[in-house]
Amino acid sequence: MMRGRTMARGTLHHYARLMRLHRPVGIWLLLWPTLWALWLAADGRPDQRLFLVFVAGVVVMRSAGCVINDWADRDFDGRVARTRVRPLASGAVSPAEALGLFAALSMVAIALALQLNRPAQLLAVAGGGLTVIYPFAKRFISAPQLVLGAAFGWSVPMAYAAVTGAIPRVAWLIFLAVVVWAVIYDTEYAMVDREDDMRAGIRSTAILFGSADVFVVSLLMVVLVLALALVGRLAQMGPWYFASLLAVSGLLLYQRRLIENRDPTRCFEAFMQSHLVGGAVFAGIALDYLFRPG
């Protein structure tokens, strides 16, 4: 009996690691744009039920994305120093188990999507497709981070559709800003594994940008701040929101400093700090609505 319980706990531990629950940075990177959209679409007062559905959906879809990513990369991860200890690459979880876990998470995601209105449900189908496509895009597309950005930003039009039944221009602008943001932080992430990825045949923007990587990431940081400022103008945000963009600029400058010498450890630190950008933007949105005159 005790041995069975120990084995069960060990299996759950490996499943949790496969879903990256021990590294919640990916959850935050997906959650913040979702919350931006929910608050903006609902004029600062999102429906409690929608809030819970979307937060749960973020955790489930990020977990499912990690599982299908590691399943697709199971033969590559063993060749990369940083990823060879992942459950699939190390043999702690079998490919069949991973597919079973992905199927279970997908069923939960479908159940959550059924709580939304019809426009949001249709968008959820497309979002699920992006989740599955991304791991394979790394084999064929020189900038797979664009696909990742689309997957991470897809909750924005979904949130607007769920709240208002429509997707205004500002929603698509936020979506594009999230894509730019994803290219920034995932390029920083890819800079950690650039040499291993080149040997393994994995493509990334870190490889595509080459020696211009720091310059291009810096340029994209400027584009991101400008896009967020335009979002603020279109959404008629006030001083709290625009003050948050000063904090965002400071955080991005710090990341730029971390990656300037392309040291893998510092590049990984820059990636791990990226979610603070999203948190700063959300703080600006929430405070702006909180202190608006009645």
Assign 9 a pLDDT band (cuts: 50, 70, 90). Answer: low
Taking CA atoms, 167 is separated from 73, 94, 180, 219, in Å, by 35, 41, 19, 28
Q: Which domain holds residue 191?
A: 10-287
**Does the residue 78 lie in any domain?**
yes
Mean pLDDT of the chain: 92
**Does the residue 293 lie in any domain?**
no
Digit-coded pLDDT (tens) for 66-113: 999 999 888 777 666 677 788 888 888 899 999 999 999 999 999 999
Range from 72-86, 90-104, 195-209, 216-230 carrying the lowest mean pLDDT: 72-86
- Cβ pair 157, 167 in contact under 8 A: yes
The pLDDT value recorded for residue 10 is 60
**Does the residue 4 lie in any domain?**
no
Rounded to 5°, the CA angle 130-132-135 comes to: 100
**Does the residue 116 lie in any domain?**
yes
- Cβ pair 51, 57 in contact under 8 A: no
- Cβ pair 18, 66 in contact under 8 A: yes
**Does the residue 254 lie in any domain?**
yes
The pLDDT value recorded for residue 7 is 44
Residues 6+ positions from 163 with CB-CB distance below 8 Å: 38, 41, 42, 46, 47, 50
Digit-coded pLDDT (tens) for 34-53: 999 999 999 999 999 999 99
Digit-coded pLDDT (tens) for 276-285: 999 999 999 9
**Does the residue 2 lie in any domain?**
no
Q: Would the CA dihedral through 159, 163, 169, 174 be positive or negative?
A: negative
pLDDT at 60 over 80: yes
* Cα distance between residue 132 and residue 127, in whole Å: 9
* Cα distance between residue 267 and residue 48, in whole Å: 37
pLDDT at 62 over 90: yes
**Does the residue 5 lie in any domain?**
no
- Amino acid identity, residue 136? F
Assign 120 a pLDDT band (cuts: 50, 70, 90). Answer: very high
> CATH code at 28?
1.10.357.140
- Specify the higher pLDDT residue, 231 or 292: 231
**Does the residue 51 lie in any domain?**
yes
Number of domains in the chain: 1
Digit-coded pLDDT (tens) for 11-40: 888 999 999 998 999 999 999 999 999 999
Which has the closest alpha carbon to 227: 186, 185, 181?
181
